[in-house]
Amino acid sequence: MPYTSLNPATGQVLAKLPSLSQPQWQAALAETHAVWQSWRHTGFSRRAALMERAGALLREQRDSLAGLITLEMGKLRREALAEIDKCALTCDYYSVHGEPFLRAEHIPSDGSDSYVAYEPLGPVLAVMPWNFPFWQVFRFAAPALMAGNAGVLKPASSVPQCAQAIERLFVEAGFPAGLFRTLLVEAAEVAEVVASPYIAAVTLTGSEAAGRSVAAAAGRVLKKSVLELGGSDAFMVLDDADVEAASTAAVQSRFLNAGQSCIAAKRFILLPQVAEAFLDRFAAKVAKLQPGDPIHDETTLAPMARVDLRDQLHQQVLTSIEHGAVARLGCQPLPGGGAFYAASILDRVAPGMPAYHEELFGPVAIVLRATDEDDAVRLANDTRFGLGASIWSRDSIRAEKLSRRIESGSVFINGMVKSDPRLPFGGIKDSGFGRELSYHGIREFVNAKTVWVK
């Protein structure tokens, strides 16, 4: 099966790229492993200079790379530009902090000297999704390469041109050819790639099903894995919240990338004192979102990535409505070509509905009505996911105390959940395990070697 690149706004096929045969990808992995054998001994100053150059190239090629994201994935152009900027920032961050994060850590013991040395593991396989085709890759690749590892990217089948552009950029920056490699293989072959003796570890961002499969494959061959899976983030609006500020942030937090983000706000948990005031403002702002070609500045609602994903989302909405949810706004596909779905609000969501239990990966906000603060916490935690959450309150001390009761990898107070190279990123429960970014992320794929001297 070829990798098919198409324009989600029009359905036009842009390119079809053939998958590699087994002998081809096996030879590619052997080459990457051989390149890594030299790279692992490259000094931090050289690694940092190349990573800094990669960041500079991202900025120089910003317009064309963002255009490719918009064309192949359907992201709004201004959001695609911001994605490239974030990748460049991450390259800069690790070019400066990579060496300090991995500096030997001396620890007093009964020896004359004892310390922990952080050493690279080898080529890291990254199985990456389509929704942030550059950012998801750079948040693994920048720390991995700075740590002295190699990177092997298995991209989503719908964004192969973005993946190939990233490989070209690393080579243009001066990294050895083959150190970072895009591997166009079939999904059914990923377990075989994981098992290859040339792969040291694996990281995956994607669905629960894919995460379970890859983690199982890694476990069978005793290889380290990091998973960032789905999310159903709570957006809690307390009774003392600034409703205007919260409703404005809610629009961006839910409808960024047409709602196709693991850390998008998905479950809006409202206390009764502010529920109607918040919903009135929120609905009025959501209704102003303008669907259209994502390349145009006036467009504020992008298409979904694929028609089949839109249809799956709509079925979740329809089934929830059949079980008593109320369509307050939208809740239907948009007519015409492309994978467009209306910006939607689904109210009165309750247990037993798909919208309550499942991740809705698209432009649909679901509303859960809490009776009080304790009930809001209960609702926030009543999910198998645990990626992020946000709490809105004029009393930040109250909200901070409440954050410690939320079961998630991050909690943002009076701000939308986001990833930042300075902060660790990841989830708990069915949202995965391990961390990316910050010093936590760069230490995921290294050997923490104890050295004891007498």
Positions marked catalytic: 228, 262
Q: List pLDDT tens digits, range 178-201.
A: 999 999 999 999 999 999 999 999
**For residues 2 and 14, is the Cβ–Cβ distance under 8 A?**
no
Q: Is the whole model's pTM more than 0.75, yes or no? A: yes
CA 286, CA 314: separation in Å to the nearest integer?
Answer: 18
- Write down the CATH superfamily of domain 3-228+429-453: Aldehyde Dehydrogenase; Chain A, domain 1 (3.40.605.10)
**For residues 228 and 137, is the Cβ–Cβ distance under 8 A?**
no
Q: Are strands 201-205 and 224-228 parallel, antiparallel or unpaired?
A: parallel
Q: 1 pLDDT band (50/70/90 cuts)?
A: confident
Question: The domain 233-413: what is its CATH number?
Answer: 3.40.309.10
Q: Residue 372's beta-bridge partner residues?
A: none
**For residues 130 and 137, is the Cβ–Cβ distance under 8 A?**
no
Mean pLDDT of all residues in 302-314: 97
CA 226, CA 197: separation in Å to the nearest integer?
Answer: 18
**For residues 393 and 240, is the Cβ–Cβ distance under 8 A?**
yes
Q: 228 pLDDT band (50/70/90 cuts)?
A: very high
Structure-token pair, residue 404? 């410690």
Return the DSSP state at 115: E
* Sign of the CA dihedral with 379 first, then 370, 289, and 324 last: positive
Q: What is the model's pLDDT at position 15?
A: 95
Mean pLDDT of all residues in 159-173: 98
Mean pLDDT of all residues in 350-373: 98
Structure-token pair, residue 122? 């080898």
H-state helical runs in 179-306 = 190-195, 208-220, 243-255, 275-286
User: Residue 19's CB: how many other CB atoms inside 10 A?
Assistant: 17
CB-count burial class (<10 Å; 0-12, 13-18, 19+) for 297: exposed
Q: What is the model's pLDDT at position 406?
A: 98
Q: List pLDDT tens digits, range 381-392.
A: 999 999 999 999
Q: Percentage of residues in the chain with pLDDT exceeding 90?
A: 99
Structure-token pair, residue 351? 């247990």
Give the C-alpha distances (Å, rounded to integers) separating 407 from 233, 381, 382, 395, 429: 10, 6, 9, 21, 9
H-state helical runs in 256-395 = 275-286, 307-322, 354-357, 373-381
Give the C-alpha distances (Å, rounded to integers) separating 72 from 4, 144, 305, 308: 10, 26, 9, 16
**For residues 258 and 235, is the Cβ–Cβ distance under 8 A?**
no
Which phi and psi angles does 369 have, rounded to 5°?
A: -105, 115
Q: List pLDDT tens digits, range 425-451.
A: 999 999 999 999 999 999 999 999 999
- Nearest-10 Cα torsion for 350, 354, 355, 358: 120
**For residues 239 and 273, is the Cβ–Cβ distance under 8 A?**
yes
Mean pLDDT of all residues in 263-271: 98
Q: List pLDDT tens digits, range 196-226.
A: 999 999 999 999 999 999 999 999 999 999 9
Residue among 134, 14, 137, 9 at smallest CA distance from 62? 134
Q: What is the model's pLDDT at position 452?
A: 98
Q: Residue 2: pLDDT above 90?
A: no
Q: List pLDDT tens digits, range 332-359.
A: 999 988 999 999 999 999 999 999 999 9
**For residues 40 and 148, is the Cβ–Cβ distance under 8 A?**
yes
Mean pLDDT of all residues in 412-437: 98
Which phi and psi angles does 332 have, rounded to 5°?
A: -160, 150
Map out the domains of the chain as residue ranges: 3-228+429-453, 233-413
